[in-house]
Amino acid sequence: MTSGDRGHPPEQWGSSLGFVLAAAGSAVGLGNLWGFAYRASQGGGAAFVVLYLLIVAVVCLPVLVAEMVLGRSTGHAPLLAPITAGGRRWAPLGWLFMAAAIGILSYYAVLMGWTGRSLIHALSAPLPADIPAAERFFAGISSGGDAVLGHLISLALTGVVVAAGIKAGIERLTRWAMPLLFLLLLALVIWAAFLPGAHEGYNGFLLRWDASKLTDLTTIRNAFTQAFFSIGTGIGAILAYSTYLNRRSGIPGEAVAVVGMDTAVGLMAGCITFPLVASFGLVDVVSSSTVGTLFISLPTGLASLGGAGRVVAALFFLLAYVAAITSSVSLLEVPVSSLMDRLGWSRSRSVWLMVLLIAVIGLPSCLDVAVLERMDALFGGVCLIAGGLLLALLLGWQVPDRFRTDLLESGSSPDLVRLLRWALRWISVPAISLGLLISIIDLAKSWSGAGA
Ligand code: PHE
């Protein structure tokens, strides 16, 4: 490792659009389709949506730009980039990126397995006729052999794409997957808008305004977690992708495109799930929300539509699986690029070793949904937000010149750079500190059984 030097990754994105689609692919995932609905349904309503949008625009966006600058300006993978920029004492941040990416992928692949299994089921058998039947089906796919198999297949597919490399693997996948995903999503949003109870769905969950929820701890934790998880900043995934960026890319514009697409998909997913829930009288199931909610309520609701319902269910789970794999590849790229960078290993050796390790770490989540929920709260919640805070401190306060110089040299206007740096220092840092504190307190409360 040569501190201060710029690493020279041998690969580059084919084009700026290729990078933006890949980064948007990382951001858009199960977090948007399943996490947004799951968290929005935990009582926050419109207050949750407002907090979420606010956090995305003023807190996450500057951090995302900082993460991209750190990757491009150092040219090093997530493990070494913080040391290269800030010196030895920033080494823990590199390890936090590694731990968080491995931790998240270990249960994300399990969720992908459930999604794939639900897709196959929708294609091959009638949907469950009522909630108890759906719960039995879900219990079957979310534990034991089925869950392990789905987890392993999903990890193996992710490994195949990452092993093929940046341009031939990840960029090639996201180039067709992202447009397909938008089309499917749009078709389902339009379909859902014509369901009999659509308006109650929008009003009940997304538009219901209760100002007191703005200060409710669980709503705040949900909005923070959802914003960071959904954009996927704070974990080194976008950092890893940015090391393959050329020096001319306009990072702020690309960051806005990524955040815009991600937010649009989250809201569109809400416009599919909530009308469905309201229309088929599934409000109670959703309000007692767990990670399994969508997998239970969606197929049950659609069952009453017969064959057409099966088509919609299959499309939805296909969409979710495509969205998930464009995210899981970015998670795997974090440890893979770090091993290549730190130890000089080949891409395929790094990929398969990591796939093996993550497969083992994910086993407890395959066997017990409660473990999966805790992994999500810890790695997808606290670790990700902590990573975001450290990134903002590193580029906002420790090495602000690196932030400024990189952006100015690639053609961003001085006013924009000043504004971004100001936001990183004075908005992102205090807001994330507060969000992290609230998240830890609320999580500790709920784990000790006192909270929601
Ligand atoms: N953003 C992805 C999702 O919404 C998950 C993810 C998190 C991807 C962190 C990369 C980094 O599903």
Rounded to whole angstroms, the Cα distance separating 31 from 328 reads: 11
Query: Which of 210, 291, 261, 239 has the alpha carbon at shortest distance from 34?
Result: 291
Please state which architecture CATH assigns to domain 24-451: Up-down Bundle (1.20)
Q: What is the pLDDT of residue 10?
A: 66
pTM of the model: 0.93
- Rounded to the nearest angstrom, the distance between the alpha carbon of 30 and the centre of ligand 1 is 8
- Rounded to the nearest angstrom, the distance between the alpha carbon of 185 and the centre of ligand 1 is 18
Rounded to whole angstroms, the Cα distance separating 356 from 211 reads: 47
Q: Look up residue 353 and give its two tokens.
A: 């070793």
23 CB less than 6 Å from ligand 1?
no
Q: Helical H runs in 344-383?
A: 347-361, 363-367, 369-375
Q: What is the pLDDT of residue 3?
A: 38
Q: What is the pLDDT of residue 348?
A: 95
230 CB less than 6 Å from ligand 1?
yes
330 CB less than 6 Å from ligand 1?
yes
* Helix H or strand E encompassing 382: none
237 CB less than 6 Å from ligand 1?
yes
Q: What is the best residue among 63, 327, 332 to mutate for testing ligand 1's pocket, by most ligand atoms within 8 Å of CB?
A: 327
Q: What is the pLDDT of residue 74?
A: 94
Sorted by where each begins, the domain ranges of the chain are 24-451
26 CB less than 6 Å from ligand 1?
yes
CA distances 291 to 1, 37, 304, Å, are 41, 10, 23
Q: Which residues contact 270 (CB under 8 A, 6 or more apart)?
A: 36, 37, 40, 205, 206
Q: What is the pLDDT of residue 452?
A: 41
CA distances 443 to 99, 346, 376, 437, 439, Å, are 19, 40, 11, 10, 6
Buried b / exposed e over 31-63, threshold 16 CB at 10 Å, is bbbbbbbbbbbbbbbbbbbbbbeebbbebbbbb
Residue 409, classified by CB atoms within 10 Å of its CB into exposed (0-12), middle (13-18) or buried (19+), is: exposed
Rounded to whole angstroms, the Cα distance separating 229 from 39 reads: 12
Neighbours of 12 (CB within 10 A): 15
Amino acid at position 268, single letter: M
Q: What is the pLDDT of residue 217?
A: 83
428 CB less than 6 Å from ligand 1?
no
350 CB less than 6 Å from ligand 1?
no
- Rounded to the nearest angstrom, the distance between the alpha carbon of 324 and the centre of ligand 1 is 8
What is the SS3 assignment for 191? helix
Q: What is the pLDDT of residue 67?
A: 96
Atom 6 of ligand 1: nearest residue by CA position = 232
229 CB less than 6 Å from ligand 1?
yes
Rounded to whole angstroms, the Cα distance separating 393 from 360 reads: 34
- Using only C-alpha atoms, what is the Rg of the chain? 21
167, HSE (Cβ side, Cα atoms, 13 Å): 10
Buried b / exposed e over 124-149, threshold 16 CB at 10 Å, is eeebbeeeebbbebbeebbeeeebbe
What is the SS3 assignment for 42? coil
Q: What residue has token string 């450290």?
A: 390
326 CB less than 6 Å from ligand 1?
no
Q: Look up residue 451 and give its two tokens.
A: 């909270």
Phi (first) and psi of residue 125, to 5 degrees: -150, 160
What is the SS3 assignment for 13? coil
159 CB less than 6 Å from ligand 1?
no
158 CB less than 6 Å from ligand 1?
no
Rounded to whole angstroms, the Cα distance separating 273 from 120 reads: 20
Rounded to whole angstroms, the Cα distance separating 445 from 247 reads: 46
Rounded to whole angstroms, the Cα distance separating 136 from 107 reads: 21
- Rounded to the nearest angstrom, the distance between the alpha carbon of 328 and the centre of ligand 1 is 8
Ligand 1 nearest-atom number relative to CA 327:
8
Amino acid at position 52, single letter: Y
Q: What is the pLDDT of residue 9?
A: 56
Across the 452 residues of the chain, what is the mean pLDDT of every consecutive 10-residue run?
49 89 93 81 82 93 96 95 96 97 97 94 88 86 90 97 92 91 91 87 81 84 88 94 88 94 91 83 66 78 84 90 94 97 94 98 94 90 92 96 93 94 95 90 77 42
Q: What is the best residue among 39, 230, 231 to mutate for testing ligand 1's pocket, by most ligand atoms within 8 Å of CB?
A: 230
225 CB less than 6 Å from ligand 1?
no
Q: Which residues contact 148 (CB under 8 A, 6 or more apart)?
A: 363, 366, 367
Rounded to whole angstroms, the Cα distance separating 337 from 351 reads: 9
Atom 7 of ligand 1: nearest residue by CA position = 232
CA distances 432 to 51, 153, 173, 193, 387, Å, are 13, 36, 33, 36, 10
Q: What is the pLDDT of residue 1?
A: 36
